[in-house]
Structure 1
Amino acid sequence: MGMTQQRIEEQGFEALQRLYLLATDFHHDHGVVAARFLLGLYNGYRFPFDLTDLRLLDAASFQDAMAVLVMDARLTRKEVHNYFAEGGKMFERLVQDWNITDIARLRETGDGSPTPRAQRGMLRHEDDVSAKLVTVGNAPGYRDVRLTFDCEVIGSDRQDVGQVRLCMSINVEDGVTMMNHIRDVHQSAWSRGRPIDAKVDEHAPRWALWAATN
């Protein structure tokens, strides 16, 4: 008789904890194998795993890998990293610590290097951020615009990075492009009725209505 789903998850969870500990042991020859195996389950598109590497594991670690694989394949209740608090951050740390190539990023950009660890006050390439406008400046007679934003990373690294202030100078061509895009977004949102993010007492701005009728 096969194991119950509860038993599969119990054994898989215990094995997952042991494998993650092994994956963080940089003095153990099997640490990188455990890390690559877990990352393959975490995101196989970014971190494909060669199954023949399982031959490198000792018997106990191999059995742990099988238990985790059964849990992941048969239950599919949640992804392996979600069995940990802030699991996404923990698994991304394995990528950084073992300098594992991100194949998806390599295909898209030609650089598969891991994203650097989050640091206080430092934004990284391709970080998604939320931005709050602080000030707007310009030089009289010129059309360049200087915008200052307070930015925060969107995602699990938000607290680690904290708030970052960015000052951006926008040239004439980009300023016009941005203005037209913002106008189009507002016009489209109001043309469908009331935007989802509109406040209770908010009305469509005149310039958006004017753009819709001209």
Structure 2
Amino acid sequence: MAGPLDINDDMQRMVLRKGEATAKGGHAFQRLLQLAETRDSGQVRRVALFIAATYNGEAFPFDLFELRAVDEAISDDMLLCIDALRRGQSDLHSLVPDGDRRVRAVIEQWGLKWPEAQ
């Protein structure tokens, strides 16, 4: 049976893991965002779709099989972002400078369409 000290240790480890995942996810998101802002290829279109999905998953669904269609470094960054989202401390776009505006610009730049209002 776990005692109070065990529970506190578990909570501290969880907080540390959340912070680490958030930091790694923020750095990965910055790299992906920079790719989508500056490059033009099929892989980078998938990056733009991924970025849009992290911003608004209902409006921009992302097929996880797309992870197979990008370079390993890109998919590794996507997985770091997913882990940060899973830990739920921050929205990814809030972890990078001017993230909200930049993500909206990527959505527009890549011609991704917001769903029509019902």
Could you tell me the TM-score, scaled by structure 2's length? 0.77
User: Partners of 2:31 and 2:72 in 1: how far apart?
Assistant: 13
Q: Which has the higher strand share?
A: 1
Aligned: 1:37 with 2:50: yes
1:36, CA displacement in angstroms? Answer: 0.5
Equivalent pairs, count: 105
1:21, CA displacement in angstroms? Answer: 1.2
Task: Say whether the 8 Å CA contact 1:54–1:62 is kept in structure 2.
Answer: yes
Task: Say whether the 8 Å CA contact 1:24–1:94 is kept in structure 2.
Answer: yes
2:63 to 45, 50, 71: 50
User: Partners of 1:41 and 1:60 in 2: how far apart?
Assistant: 18
Instruction: Give the partner amino acid of 2:65.
Output: T
User: Partners of 1:6 and 1:80 in 2: how far apart?
Assistant: 13
Aligned: 1:77 with 2:117: no
Aligned: 1:89 with 2:101: yes
Instruction: Give the partner amino acid of 2:113.
Output: T
Task: Say whether the 8 Å CA contact 2:49–2:60 is kept in structure 1.
Answer: yes
Task: Say whether the 8 Å CA contact 1:15–1:67 is kept in structure 2.
Answer: yes
Between Structure 1 and Structure 2, whose CA radius of gyration is higher? 1
Unaligned runs of 5+ in 2: 1-12
1:85, CA displacement in angstroms? Answer: 3.0
Q: Deviations over 1:163-214 (max 9, x none)?
A: xxxxxxxxxxxxxxxxxxxxxxxxxxxxxxxxxxxxxxxxxxxxxxxxxxxx
Whose RCO is larger (CA < 8 A, sep 6+)? 2
Alpha-carbon distance change, 25 to 56 in structure 1, aligned in 2, over 3 angstroms: farther
User: Partners of 1:26 and 1:87 in 2: how far apart?
Assistant: 18
User: Partners of 1:14 and 1:58 in 2: how far apart?
Assistant: 17
Task: Say whether the 8 Å CA contact 2:25–2:92 is kept in structure 1.
Answer: no
Instruction: Give the partner amino acid of 1:102.
Output: W
1:86, CA displacement in angstroms? Answer: 2.8
Percentage of pairs with the same residue? 25
Instruction: Give the partner amino acid of 1:60.
Output: A
Q: Which has the higher helix share?
A: 2
Greater CA drift, 17-26 or 54-63? 17-26
Cα RMSD, aligned residues only:
2.0
User: Partners of 1:34 and 1:6 in 2: how far apart?
Assistant: 24
Task: Say whether the 8 Å CA contact 2:22–2:89 is kept in structure 1.
Answer: no
1:37, CA displacement in angstroms? Answer: 0.5
Query: Map of 1:90-105 to 2, 5 A cutoff?
Result: 90-103=102-115, 105=116
Could you tell me the TM-score, scaled by structure 1's length? 0.45
2:39 corresponds in structure 1 to 26
Q: Which runs of 4+ in 1 moved over 3 A?
A: none
User: Partners of 2:34 and 2:43 in 1: how far apart?
Assistant: 11
Alpha-carbon distance change, 24 to 82 in structure 1, aligned in 2, over 3 angstroms: same
1:57, CA displacement in angstroms? Answer: 0.9
Task: Say whether the 8 Å CA contact 2:26–2:96 is kept in structure 1.
Answer: no
